[in-house]
A and B are shown apart, each in its own frame.
Chain A
């Protein structure tokens, strides 16, 4: 319920997942003793011109045009995929491109000189909202597996499905029955189990006496 008004804070799990994604960066200057960042490095220092894969949380703390790394924008936000996004907005499977398409793109926007990413994610979401509204009206389960939505869209879809099921329940007047709470049920099960084991415990000496 609270995952949908998503304003990422330091502790939000999705934010941690997104910022853990690796981005390719090219080293611009010689960095002494930073060779550990590159797993296949021979020397202790990072030579300019090498490409390393660094996690996003590492890069986003640096200034955008810092002298040490140049961030390469991942392919999913470029060229072919960009054209596909614009052409087939509702049918493209964003979940398959990247599970956190929108958020990842949002973090990468300042690094993109051509201002492509920001516009793509904005336009794509705008076009897909109508589609989301429509599919959340249908039965939910089957549709979600087919369409492979991005994380943000999946949450919105879940909200839509929940609203729809509440409405249908109300129409058929099936919802809103008073149910026993889970704690009470668990307690009753435990009590029944305890009673049953007590009975078995009493039965054993009886049966022994009977055979004797």
Chain B
């Protein structure tokens, strides 16, 4: 799972732009993108917005949640709560990264916003690590986490499922051997079934 793939998925978010040209509505596969009129805001997918911005045909309007106070509040909420809070946009990191790299002038107080968003991301990531640790040490069989975004999940893949695989394998051999020898001592018929089921598990 590449970050570039996550970016591709996140680019589908709609964002509002102010074009400086006029055009008929474009008919894309997932629906028409409204008529472009110079000077009037219109909603387009993010990939189209960055594309137009690079050709200097529009101006990007930052989404409502990209505001200093709202983000500070979200950060405080995240620090306080034990669980993950719902983020304003499913792909907040991707949107922030793309908007601020292609159009830093369109966003007021760009650098501070970048810092705050990075802080929020770091807080969530460390919360994720702590909950993984608690899950592994607590011998649970499954865990459920709400409101995680793709990029945060990416930071623990693929190391998490593989390490859980290994832990499960060793757990199986440990319990199998324990069970087998208790079976052997209980039964009178010697070592008939023990080693066979053991080899099944180890392969």
A159 lies within 8 A of B162 (CB):
yes
Instruction: Determine the main DSSP class of A at the interface with B.
Output: helix
Which residue on A lies nearest to B157, using beta carbons? A163
Choice from A4, A65, A113, A171 contacting B191 with Cβ under 8 Å: A65
Chain A CB within 8 A of B23 CB: no
B155 lies within 8 A of A6 (CB):
no
Q: Nearest Cβ distance between residue B113 and chain A, in whole angstroms?
A: 15
Q: Which residues of B have CB within 8 Å of A106?
A: 169-170, 173, 202
Chain B CB within 8 A of A179 CB: no
Choice from B3, B151, B170 contacting A122 with Cβ under 8 Å: B170
Supposing A102-B170, A122-B167, A130-B133 touch, asked if A170 and B177 sit within 8 A by C-beta, the answer is: no
Chain B CB within 8 A of A110 CB: yes
Which residue on A lies nearest to B162, using beta carbons? A4
A64 lies within 8 A of B195 (CB):
yes
A171 lies within 8 A of B97 (CB):
yes
Interface string of B152-176 (1 = CB under 8 A from A): 0011111110110111011101110
- Bound together, the chains give a CA A136 to CA B198 distance in angstroms of 34
- Bound together, the chains give a CA A94 to CA B191 distance in angstroms of 33
- Bound together, the chains give a CA A156 to CA B159 distance in angstroms of 6
Choice from B151, B154, B175, B198 contacting A64 with Cβ under 8 Å: B198
- Bound together, the chains give a CA A82 to CA B7 distance in angstroms of 47
Choice from B159, B171, B177, B181 contacting A159 with Cβ under 8 Å: B159
Q: Nearest Cβ distance between residue B166 and chain A, in whole angstroms?
A: 6
Q: Which residues of B have CB within 8 Å of A107?
A: 202
Chain B CB within 8 A of A27 CB: no
Supposing A109-B173, A130-B133 touch, asked if A4 and B178 sit within 8 A by C-beta, the answer is: no
- Bound together, the chains give a CA A129 to CA B129 distance in angstroms of 11
A170 lies within 8 A of B178 (CB):
no
B156 lies within 8 A of A133 (CB):
yes
- Bound together, the chains give a CA A155 to CA B7 distance in angstroms of 27
Chain B CB within 8 A of A132 CB: yes
Chain A CB within 8 A of B137 CB: yes
Chain B CB within 8 A of A5 CB: yes
Interface string of B11-36 (1 = CB under 8 A from A): 00000000000000000000000000
Which residue on B lies nearest to A65, using beta carbons? B191
A129 lies within 8 A of B180 (CB):
no
A118 lies within 8 A of B166 (CB):
no
- Bound together, the chains give a CA A171 to CA B93 distance in angstroms of 10
Chain B CB within 8 A of A127 CB: yes
A110 lies within 8 A of B167 (CB):
no
- Bound together, the chains give a CA A164 to CA B174 distance in angstroms of 33
B177 lies within 8 A of A110 (CB):
yes
Q: Nearest Cβ distance between residue A136 and chain B, in whole angstroms?
A: 7
A167 lies within 8 A of B3 (CB):
yes
Q: Nearest Cβ distance between residue B172 and chain A, in whole angstroms?
A: 9
Q: Nearest Cβ distance between residue A130 and chain B, in whole angstroms?
A: 4
- Bound together, the chains give a CA A81 to CA B78 distance in angstroms of 42
Interface string of B126-163 (1 = CB under 8 A from A): 00010011001100000000000001001111111011
Q: Nearest Cβ distance between residue A149 and chain B, in whole angstroms?
A: 12
Which residue on A lies nearest to B94, using beta carbons? A170
Q: Which residues of B have CB within 8 Å of A127?
A: 137
Which residue on A lies nearest to B169, using beta carbons? A106
Q: Across chains A and B, which 3 residue pairs bring their CB atoms closest together, nearest first?
A: A118-B174, A170-B3, A130-B133
A–B pairs, 25, beta carbons within 8 Å? A64-B194, A64-B195, A65-B190, A105-B170, A109-B173, A109-B177, A113-B181, A118-B178, A122-B171, A122-B174, A127-B137, A129-B167, A130-B132, A130-B133, A132-B159, A159-B162, A160-B159, A163-B155, A166-B2, A166-B3, A167-B151, A167-B154, A170-B4, A170-B97, A171-B97
- Known A-B contacts: A163-B156, A163-B158. Give 6 more (CB < 8 A): A106-B169, A106-B173, A125-B167, A126-B167, A130-B137, A167-B3
